Amino acid sequence: LMQNRPLLISSLLEHAAAFHGDTEIVTRTVEGPIHRYTYAALARRSKRLANALTRLGVTSGTRIGTLAWNTHRHLELYFGVSGMGAVLHTVNPRLFAEQIEYIVNHAEDQYLFFDSSFLDLVERLAPSLPKVKGFILLADRARMPASGIPNLLCYEDLLAGESEAFDWPSFDENTASSLCYTSGTTGNPKGVLYSHRSTVLHSFAICQRDGFNLGAEDSVLVVVPLFHANGWGMPYGAAMCGAKLVFPGPAMDGKSIYELLRDEQCSFSLAVPTVWLGFFQYIDGTSGLQPATEIKLERLVIGGSAAPQAMIRRFAEQFGAYVLHAWGMTEMSPLGTSGRPLRKHAGLPLDQRIALQSKQGRVIYGVELKITDDSGAELPHDGIAFGDIKVRGPWIAAGYFRSEGGAVMDADGWFATGDVGTLDGDGYLQITDRSKDVIKSGGEWISSIDLENAAIGHPAVQEAAVIGVHHDKWQERPLLIVVRKPDATLDRDTLLEYLRPLVAKWWLPDDVVFVTELPHTATGKLQKSKLREQFKEYRLPTD
Amino acid sequence: LMQNRPLLISSLLEHAAAFHGDTEIVTRTVEGPIHRYTYAALARRSKRLANALTRLGVTSGTRIGTLAWNTHRHLELYFGVSGMGAVLHTVNPRLFAEQIEYIVNHAEDQYLFFDSSFLDLVERLAPSLPKVKGFILLADRARMPASGIPNLLCYEDLLAGESEAFDWPSFDENTASSLCYTSGTTGNPKGVLYSHRSTVLHSFAICQRDGFNLGAEDSVLVVVPLFHANGWGMPYGAAMCGAKLVFPGPAMDGKSIYELLRDEQCSFSLAVPTVWLGFFQYIDGTSGLQPATEIKLERLVIGGSAAPQAMIRRFAEQFGAYVLHAWGMTEMSPLGTSGRPLRKHAGLPLDQRIALQSKQGRVIYGVELKITDDSGAELPHDGIAFGDIKVRGPWIAAGYFRSEGGAVMDADGWFATGDVGTLDGDGYLQITDRSKDVIKSGGEWISSIDLENAAIGHPAVQEAAVIGVHHDKWQERPLLIVVRKPDATLDRDTLLEYLRPLVAKWWLPDDVVFVTELPHTATGKLQKSKLREQFKEYRLPTD
C-alpha cells in the first residue's frame, strides 16, 4: 500500500528549511529592535535547542513551560521542544499568578522558559514551583539580570554551546506535542494535550483556501499570542507552506502594529478585535500616515470575540481587505469554522457581504459539527433554530490532561463545545450564546448575547449582561444588568421601550438593574457565574 | 489527548452533503445531454450504490472495476465503492485490450462497471474475465442493449431498487480504498493501491493554496480522466471543499470543452496539453466566439507532459489565467509539485513569469523530495545539477499491488520516481529526463529531453527522440532519431549545425538518423525501449 510515514511537527520545519530556507521570520524583540532571520536559521537554532534540552535531561513526554511573547525564540521552542518528542506547554502570562502557579505545577513542567517582561512574576512564583528544575531567560548574556531565581539559565548561552546537528527522532504521530490550559470562567484551568497528528492535520486545514488560505505568497503578522491555542496554529501552518512570519513581541499598541504591517508589507494578520480598535485609533489620531497605500493587508482573521460590523466594513473600504471571522476554541486546536465566501457570493453588495462576514463562518472539513436541542436531537440548518454546538474530529480534544473534568465526549464521540448557535443552509455558523448563559424560558431558548448586543446599541449603555433568573411559571426569565456610560442618564422603562422593537416579544427582559461595574476574568471575559451568584435571590417584578 | 477519528473517504462525501448540499455537479453524459445534480443527491445515490453492492455480495477489500468516462455515475462509484470499504479499480480504457484483460484478472475485479462506449470492448473481453461475476452498464433501462455479455446488469435499475439509507462503516484509515495500474513502457502494468488515509491527506494537499488552491468558490472542469491517478485527486478534493464539479464525459474536443467552460463559468480546469491544443484550435477556427468575455478561467493545472511556453503565455494574455505546471505520478497519488509563485515573484514581468511557470513547480508539504547522483549522494538545489528524483511521504506507494516488481523503496524509505531533474534555490523542480533515458557519457549525464526539445525547434522536424548508444571511450553517446515533416528536407549536418549553438558542446549528438515514424505506447508515450532495441547494434561514426 502507501508509505507508513508519521505526521510529525519536525517534518513541517524540515520542509520549510529545505524549500523555503531563505524566507524571513521577523520579530520585534522584547528589547525593542527588529530581529530578522530565515527558516533555515530557525531550523539550525531549533536543533541547537533540542541538543541543549537533551543535555538538560529532557526526554520524550517531558513538559517544558513558556511564559513568552510572540518572538523567534518562542518559535524555536515550538519546534525544538515538540520536535525532539517533549511537550511544549505555553502558559498565558495574563492569568492571575495563583492560576499560573497551579498550571505549571499541574503540568509538572521541568523547565520554564520566560521573557524578561515576566522576571518579577517568575521571581515571585519560583519558590512555589518545586518541580521546575531550571528557569531559562530568553535573552543573551549581556541582558542577564542579577536575580534570586534558583537555577537561572541564559537561553543564548545554552544554544551557543550546542551543535547544529540533530536528527529529529521518528515516533508515533499520536505522541503528545503540546499543552494549553483553558481559562474557564469557573474552576481550575484544564489542560488540552495536542498530538503531532492533530497538529499537522490542523495545519493542512489552515493552509486550505477555505481555511485561512495561507500560502507562500503571504507575509503574516501573528498578533494572536503564541500562548493562545497554539497561536491559532500559525507557527505550524506557516512552516507547512513557507509563509513569511512577522511577530510583534510584547508591543501590540496601534503604532507598533501599524509600523510592522507597513514595514513588512504584511498581506495577512490574525488578532482579537481589541487590537484593531487600537490600530484604527492610531490611524485616526496620527497625521502624515498614508494607510491606504502603506498597508497591503489582503485579509485578516478576527476571532476570540465577535468583530463589530463597522470594523469589517472599515477594513473593506479603507484597505480592500477581507475579514475572515473564525470560530474555535482551545479544545479544537483551535479552528472549527472560517468565514470564506461561497461561489454564489461573488459580486455581493458590500452591505450584504458584511452581514455574511459577521457570521462565524463555514465549517471546514475535518470538523464534524451539529447543533442539538435539550434532548440531543439534531436541529435543522435553517439559520433560525439554535442549539448546543457539538463537534467531532481528529484535532478535537478527547478529554482534558490528567482526565480533569471527566469524560467530555458522549457515546458517539461528540464534544459539547459549550457554545450555542445556528447553522444556515450554506453551513455558516452564528454563535448566539454560551450554553450555560442561554435562558430557558418555558422550554424555549433565549439568547443572552443577542439581548446584550441589542442593549449595547443604546447610546447611554456602556456594558450589558443578561442572565436568567428563576421564574415560577417560566422556569427562567431574562434579567438585564447594565453599566451606564459616565454622566449618561437612562432608566429601566426607557431602555425596555428601546429594546421592544428590536427583539421578539417574549425575549424582552423582565427587569433591568443598573450597576457601576460588571465582574470580569483575568482574560477580560464577562464572568456571568458571579452575576448569577449575586442575583441568585433576585425576585422579578410580577405583572 | 485528541479524538481518534480515522481519515475516511466517506467523511469527504458526508461533509460535502452536510455543508455544500446545494452545490452542483454537472456532467455532459455519454449520451450527450447535460445532467445536473448536487452533492446532496450524490450522497443519496452513493448510498443506494453501497446498498446495491452489499446485496451483490461485495465486502471489505473486494475490487470493483470501472471502464468509464468522467461522469456523475463514475463519481458515485468513487464514493460508494470506497465508502463501503471495497476497492475502486479504475481501468484505463485506452490501453490495449490484452492489457485491460491482464489488469482486470490481476486485480481479480468481482464486478465491472462500464460506459456504453465500451460495450464492444467488454463483449470481446468478457469470456476472458472469469473472476468477474457481473458487468454493470452505466445507463438506464431504456438504453440497455441486446448483448451476449453474461450477467449484464443495468446501473439505474440497480440503484432504483435500493434505499438511500446507509451508514458508512468506520474502519482503520490504512484500509485500501482504490487501485490504479501504471502503464509502464515495459513489462506488465503494475497496480498502485491507495488507502483512505493517503487519499484524505492528498486531498488536504490539493485544497491548499500552494497545492491546487481548490476552494468552494471554484467551478472545476475535470478533463483529466478519472481513470488517470484518481483524476489527479479531484473527486476527493472537490468534496473536501465543496467546489462545483463539471465533467466532460467522453467529449474532449475543443468545441465541447469550450462550451462547458463557458456555460458552467468554470474558474479552474485540469488537463494534459493536448486538450488545450484542441481548445485553441476551436477558438481560432470558429467565428462569433467571445472567448475573452465568455471564458472565466482563473487558473489551470497542466500535467501529464510539459505545457509549451506558448500555451502558458496564451492563457495569461487571452484570459488572465495562471497555468500551474504540476508534476507527480500514479505512485504519488499523484501530486508532488505545483507551480504556485512565491512572494518574491509578485509583479514579475510576463516573460520571466512564464519561464518560472515552465518549471514543474515547487515541492508541496507532505512530499519529501531529493535529487541524487549515481552513488545516491544528494545533489545541491542550484538549478543546474540534475539527478534521480526520489520521494518519500504518506501518499507515496510503498510497493506495487501483490508485490509486483519487488521492493521499490531503499533502506531509508525513498522511492525512486524514475524521473531525473534539477531543483533550484526556491525549490522549483525541473524534469530533465527519465532515469532510463538519460545518456551517461564519461561519468556525466546528458538530458535526452533537452536535446529532443532543441531538435524539435527546427522547422523541418516533426518528432525527435534521443537515445544513448554504446561508445567505446565514453560508454554512451547521444543518437538523434528524427521524423521529418511531410515534404520537408533536412540532412544530418544541417540539423547538427542548427543544434550546435543551442546545447553544450559535449552534448551534441554524435549522429542523426531519419525515420518515417517513432514507436509509441497505447497511451501515446514515446517508446524509447523499442528504439534502444532497434538501434542496439548501431555503430556511431568515429572521428
Predicted confidence (pLDDT) per residue in A266-315, tens digit: 999 999 988 999 999 999 999 999 999 999 999 999 988 788 899 999 99
What angle do helix axes A72-83 and A234-241 make, rounded to 10 degrees? Answer: 80
Q: Give me the residue from A15, A215, A341 closest to B217, CB to CB.
A: A341
B296 in active site: no
What's the pLDDT at B380?
A: 96
Contact A362 B19 (CB under 8 A): yes
Contact B393 A194 (CB under 8 A): no
Question: How large is the average pLDDT for residues B506-520?
Answer: 93
Question: How large is the average pLDDT for residues A113-134?
Answer: 97
CB of A90 closer than 8 Å to CB of A42 = no
What's the pLDDT at A15?
A: 98
Q: Is the predicted pLDDT of residue B95 greater than 60, yes or no?
A: yes
What's the pLDDT at A305?
A: 78
Q: Of all residues in chain B, what percent carry a pLDDT higher than 70?
A: 99
Q: How far is A325 from chain B (nearest CA, A)?
A: 16
Q: Give me the residue from B7, B215, B362 closest to A19, CB to CB.
A: B362
Q: How far is CA A101 from CA A67, A92, A93, A95, A330, in A?
A: 12, 11, 11, 10, 20
Q: Of all residues in chain B, what percent carry a pLDDT higher than 90?
A: 85
Give the confidence band of B540 by pLDDT, cuts at 50, 70, 90.
Answer: confident
**Residue B243 burial (CB count, 10 A):** 30
Alpha helices in B264-395 (DSSP H): 273-285, 291-294, 309-319, 350-358
Q: How far is B501 from chain A (nearest CA, A)?
A: 33
| Cβ within 8 Å of residue B527, ≥6 positions away | B185, B518, B519, B520, B521
What's the pLDDT at B387?
A: 93
The catalytic residues of A are 182, 331, 440, 445
Give the confidence band of B305 by pLDDT, cuts at 50, 70, 90.
Answer: confident
What's the pLDDT at A543?
A: 59
Phi and psi at residue A416, to the nearest 5°:
-80, 120
Contact B1 A194 (CB under 8 A): yes
Instruction: Give A-chain residues touching B340 at CB under 8 angstroms.
Output: 215-217
Q: Which entry of B76, B162, B331, B476 is annotated as an active-site residue?
A: B331
Alpha helices in A84-118 (DSSP H): 97-107
Give the confidence band of B445 by pLDDT, cuts at 50, 70, 90.
Answer: confident
Q: How far is B513 from chain A (nearest CA, A)?
A: 42
What's the pLDDT at B184?
A: 62
Q: Is the predicted pLDDT of residue A224 greater than 90, yes or no?
A: yes
Strands A34-38 and A24-28: antiparallel
Instruction: Give A-chain residues touching B381 at CB under 8 angstroms.
Output: 18
Q: Give me the residue from A1, A174, A343 closest to B174, CB to CB.
A: A1
Q: Is the predicted pLDDT of residue A185 greater than 60, yes or no?
A: no
Q: Nearest to residue B134, comparing CAs of B103, B170, B158?
A: B158
Contact B217 A343 (CB under 8 A): yes
Mean model confidence pLDDT for chain A: 94
pLDDT one-digit tens code per residue, A314-370: 999 999 999 999 999 999 999 999 999 999 999 999 999 999 999 999 999 999 999
Q: Give me the residue from A5, A346, A394 closest to B393, CB to CB.
A: A5
Strands A87-90 and A361-363: unpaired
B489 in active site: no
By C-alpha distance, the chain A residue nearest B2 is A397
Look at A403-407, A479-483, B326-330 and tell me which has the smallest mean pLDDT: A403-407
CB of B368 closer than 8 Å to CB of B392 = yes
Q: Using CA atoms, how far apart are residues B117 and B143, in angstroms rounded to an integer? A: 12
pLDDT one-digit tens code per residue, A493-517: 999 999 999 988 889 999 999 999 9
What's the pLDDT at B186?
A: 60
pTM above 0.90, yes or no: yes
Q: Using CA atoms, how far apart are residues A416 and A432, in angstroms rounded to an integer? A: 15
**Residue A525 burial (CB count, 10 A):** 15
Helix (H) / strand (E) element for B437: namely none
Q: How far is B252 from chain A (nearest CA, A)?
A: 25
Q: Is the predicted pLDDT of residue B286 greater than 60, yes or no?
A: yes
Instruction: Give B-chain residues touching A390 at CB under 8 angstroms.
Output: none
CA angle at residue B74 from B72 to B78, to 5 degrees? 110
Contact B208 A209 (CB under 8 A): yes
By C-alpha distance, the chain A residue nearest B180 is A1
Contact B5 A207 (CB under 8 A): no
Look at A409-423, A526-540, B65-79 and tell me which has the smallest mean pLDDT: A526-540
Q: How far is B315 from chain A (nearest CA, A)?
A: 21
Question: How large is the average pLDDT for residues B522-542?
Answer: 86
Contact A241 B12 (CB under 8 A): no
Give the confidence band of A188 by pLDDT, cuts at 50, 70, 90.
Answer: confident
Contact B398 A215 (CB under 8 A): no
Query: CB contacts < 8 Å between A and B, how many?
Result: 192
pLDDT one-digit tens code per residue, B371-407: 999 899 999 999 999 999 999 999 999 999 998 888 8
Question: How large is the average pLDDT for residues B218-243?
Answer: 97
Question: How large is the average pLDDT for residues B6-22?
Answer: 97
Which DSSP state fits A458? S
